Amino acid sequence: MGLDLVELIEATETAFGISIPDADAATIRNGRQLAAYVRSRVAVRNGPDEVLQRAFYVLRDELATRLAVAPRTIRPESDWATLLPLGARRAHWRALGDPYGERAWPTLWRPLWLRIALTALFGAGLWWGASLAAGAEAVILAPVLGVGLVSAAYHLTGRLARELPPGIRTVGDSARKLATFAPSRFLRTGEDLSLPLVEATVLAMVREELGAPEAGLDDDFIIDLGAS
């Protein structure tokens, strides 16, 4: 099983709180089979709309508490840029997302100029490594220096990461991400997941993890979607 499929299986395990043995994962060829497998491991009851609604209310109440505002003032269409100005955004964003993990709560992005600078720094590292060695040694040293420089700079510039991640502009966008990638977080004791919710969650993960935005549940991971 290639890296793409390993990451998809790991995302599925995290989202549904289950463990998928390698032997079982090797038999799963498409999203529908993966959803059926998940369904066989969890009972079914609640639908995606109800989980989305709960995700929004949990997020709204936590946000209202942090900002000391009335919950009713926060709506699905409320804009993050207005709610969290740049100066306060990083601390609030990290605190809100801590319980969910990066798949369900993407981290803030560094500004465009810094992303360009980091790319240039990687190129400089490649050039530096190539200039310090020759032949086979350069092939090894150049990427090591490039990655090392970028990793160090990435770590040191973390405080500058304040831009909203792609596709996330409103509180509703974030609630939808939470409901898709961490649905089990919003179930009450004794409740389970419905088949439509399982299929919707699996399809969203297939499209994101395999980089296939048009993928369907019946598309073969390897033959149709080119997963490695």
* Helix, strand, coil fractions of the chain, as percent rounded to 5: 65, 5, 35
Same domain for 141 and 61: no
Query: Residue type for 169, please?
Result: R
One domain for residues 71 and 81 = yes
Has residue 18 been placed in a domain? no
Over residues 2-8, the mean pLDDT reads 83
Cβ–Cβ < 8 Å for 74, 165? no
- Residue 131 is predicted with a pLDDT of 65
Q: What percent of the chain has pLDDT over 90?
A: 29
Residue 139's pLDDT band, with cuts at 50, 70 and 90, is low
Both 89 and 169 in one domain: the answer is yes
Domain contains 77: yes
Whether residues 155 and 89 fall in one domain: no
Q: How far apart are CA 200 and CA 217, in angstroms?
A: 9
Same domain, 74 and 156: no
User: Is residue 219, in this structure, part of any structural domain at all?
Assistant: no
Instruction: Determine phi and psi for 201, rounding to 5 degrees.
Output: -65, -45
* Domain shared by 53 and 147, yes or no: no
pLDDT tens digits along 23-46: 899 899 999 999 988 888 775 555
Q: Is 187 exposed, middle or buried (0-12, 13-18, 19+ CB in 10 A)?
A: middle
Going by pLDDT thresholds of 50, 70 and 90, the confidence category of residue 195 is: confident
Asked whether the predicted pLDDT for residue 212 surpasses 60, the reply is: yes
Do 91 and 132 sit in the same domain of this protein? no
The radius of gyration of the chain from alpha carbons, rounded to an integer in Å, stands at 21
Q: Residue 125: count other Cβ atoms within 10 Å of its Cβ.
A: 23
Question: pLDDT by residue (tens digit) across 12-29?
Answer: 888 777 788 888 998 999
Q: Does the pLDDT at position 1 exceed 60? A: no
Number of structural domains (the chain) is 2
Distances (CA, A) of 42 to 18, 19, 39: 8, 11, 5
Tens digits of per-residue pLDDT, 54-103? 899 899 999 999 999 988 899 999 999 999 988 889 999 999 999 888 88
Q: Which residue has the higher pLDDT, 121 or 20?
A: 20
Evaluate whether residue 36 is within a structural domain. no
Query: How many whole angstroms separate alpha carbon 64 and alpha carbon 78?
Result: 12
Determine, yes or no, domain membership for 13: no
The 8 Å CB, 24+ separation contacts for 140-143 are none
**Same domain flag for 92 and 153:** no
Same domain, 125 and 151: yes
102 plus 169 within the same structural domain: yes
227 within domain boundaries: no
Report residue 219's pLDDT band, with 50, 70 and 90 as the boundaries: very high
Q: 145-180: per-residue pLDDT in tens?
A: 666 666 766 666 667 788 999 999 999 999 999 988
pLDDT of residue 114: 73
- Same domain for 99 and 170, yes or no, is yes
Q: What is the pLDDT of residue 14?
A: 80
Q: What is the pLDDT of residue 123?
A: 73
Virtual torsion, Cα 102, 42, 46, 32, nearest 10 deg: 80
> Which residues are within 8 A (CB) of 135 and not within 5 positions of it... i.e. 6 or more apart?
none
CB within 8 A of 121, min separation 6: which ones? 146, 149, 150, 153
Question: Is 227 a residue whose pLDDT tops 90?
Answer: no
- To the question of pTM greater than 0.75 for the whole model, the response is no
Q: Is residue 135 part of a domain?
A: yes
Range of the structural domain that residue 146 is part of: 112-160
Specify if 155 maps to a domain. Answer: yes
> Are 64 and 105 found together in one domain?
yes
